[in-house]
Structure 1
Amino acid sequence: MTQEVKATSATNDITDEATIMPTHSELAASGLSKRNQKFVYQAIELVENDGQYLSLIQKMETDLLEGQKVGKTAKQIYGTPAEALGMEAKAQETQSQGTVYSDFGYWDLAFDNMLTFLMLFSAMFGITLLFQKDASINAGAAGILALALTSICGGLLFALITKIMARRDLGRVLRVLSAILAFALWFLIYMLASVLPKVINPVLPGWVYLIVAVVAFAGFRFLRKKTGIVGGFMGGSQVSNKK
């Protein structure tokens, strides 16, 4: 029994020794160039000294050693350390199985669409008002209150449309009809907002709208970075790798 324990302990010691990653000094003595040593060590850091990657690291050393004999660089052979380990391929595979746009929360989608509409309409009105001095005469839709209502309602309704279209249990006809009704409601709100009196719906100078567009874009980018949302009505087929 004691001999079996000793044998098991010896086997474990051998296994532990076999899975120890190369150190800086060992890489320096391997014959690899300093650049190739750095490449291998970056790969070791990426796998956090995980022993299951030892054989791959050893193969990498051998390939780089053979490559440098004929003038091939690590970049020519492998690209990056992550590519050498197959990590980028795994990351792309994970991303392809990520979160579809419609899977995000309703309010995340609503704010995403609100900022999108605010950004686009503000940019459009700002450019129009800058180049057409008399555009404000019949530009009720460009009024600041109309812009706010159109963007807010558009964000709420388009988020609803996104959720409805993702509901396979509702049936295709019902989903399409619901989406059409929601879009029609948003268009009606847009038309009604455009006839609001100028007292409560003033048209501001074009440069103000351009500033609003820039601020909305900054908010849009911040929200997407925070939530991981990609796609939308301009690219709804995309997915995000953030759950």
Structure 2
Amino acid sequence: MAEEKHQLTKKNEDFIFHFKKLLAQNSQLSAEQIEAATDEVTTKLLTAQGTGTTAAQLFGTPTQAVAQYLDPKKSNKKLHDYKFWQLALDTSMAILMLFAGVFGLTLFFSKQATGQGAGIVSLLLIAALGGSIYTAVVLKLTPNPKATQAEPKSRRWLYLGLALVAWIVGFIVLGLLPPVINPTLPPLAYLIVAVAAYGVFRWNRQQAGLQGGGFLAISQLSQQARLESSQAKK
């Protein structure tokens, strides 16, 4: 395995270095277990970098990768093991955090903040719609080892097309809601919404055991599922 490690990219070598260092700092694992875990992660990185998948997309941070080996109960959960609402809520809150934060900061530094930006109702519904649609599409397009047969490629493209249409139509319709039921809030209110969304975001990840290291946990889980599916076919 030592020779294979030299084939890793510089970033992946750095990831392995910190991963092994963090494992060694924990007395929960023996030297043999640390080597086995390091070899396993190295093999996965070697396979993933050939498809352009980064260590962050696959494992998150080295700390989160270590947590997977120290808490097997959580790390064993795959994409299709999570409930739909858990993944959709994670994605929706990520979208809401981003949009509310951007709107809040934009309005805060704008000289004419009144009437600018998205209304709060459309913002909440857009986040919920976007999170649900994105989650549904990723689940359909990602190989499921529990499925009796894989979805035909033609049907996958159909799902993607329908999701895109639903997102565009929903975005347009929600943007047309009248101000009387969709008021624009003061800048501070949007920032408070962003902070509240972050609180729900963190709570949901802890309750569900989502180990996503990036902005969208479902994207990382999908990358892992695709990698495992490609390895199983070899």
Shorter-chain TM-score category? 0.5 to 0.7
- Which residue number in structure 2 is paired with residue 202 of structure 1? 183
- Which residue number in structure 1 is paired with residue 134 of structure 2? 158
Q: Which runs of 5+ in 1 are unaligned?
A: 1-74
**Within 5 A, what are the aligned runs for 1:33-112?**
79-88=25-34, 89=36, 92=69, 98-112=76-90
Find the structure with the greater CA-based Rg.
Answer: 1
1:129 aligns with 2:89: no
User: Which of 171, 193, 199 is the equivalent residue of 1:218?
Assistant: 199
**Within 5 A, what are the aligned runs for 1:221-232?**
221-231=202-212, 232=217
Cα deviation 1:173-209 (Å, max 9, x = unaligned): 3112212311321222112211211111110011111
What residue identity is the alignment partner of 1:186? W
CA RMSD of aligned residues (A): 3.0
Q: Which runs of 5+ in 2 are unaligned?
A: 1-20, 38-67, 145-149, 226-234
What residue identity is the alignment partner of 2:69? Q
Q: Which structure is higher in RCO with an 8 Å CA cutoff and minimum separation 6?
A: 2
Greater shift after overlay, 172-181 or 119-128? Answer: 172-181
- Which residue number in structure 2 is paired with residue 146 of structure 1? 122
Contact 2:79 2:218 in 1 (8 A): no
Cα deviation 1:44-66 (Å, max 9, x = unaligned): xxxxxxxxxxxxxxxxxxxxxxx
CA distance in 1, matches of 2:155, 2:201: 31
Q: 1:86 to 1:145 in 2, by over 3 A?
A: same
- Which residue number in structure 1 is paired with residue 44 of structure 2? none
4+ residue runs of structure 1 moved beyond 6 angstroms? none
CA distance in 2, matches of 1:96, 1:112: 16
Q: What's the CA shift for 1:137?
A: 3.6
Question: Percent identity, aligned pairs only?
Answer: 32
Contact 1:125 1:209 in 2 (8 A): yes
Q: What's the CA shift for 1:107?
A: 1.5
User: Which of 168, 174, 183 is the equivalent residue of 1:193?
Assistant: 174
- Which residue number in structure 2 is paired with residue 57 of structure 1? none
What residue identity is the alignment partner of 1:237? Q
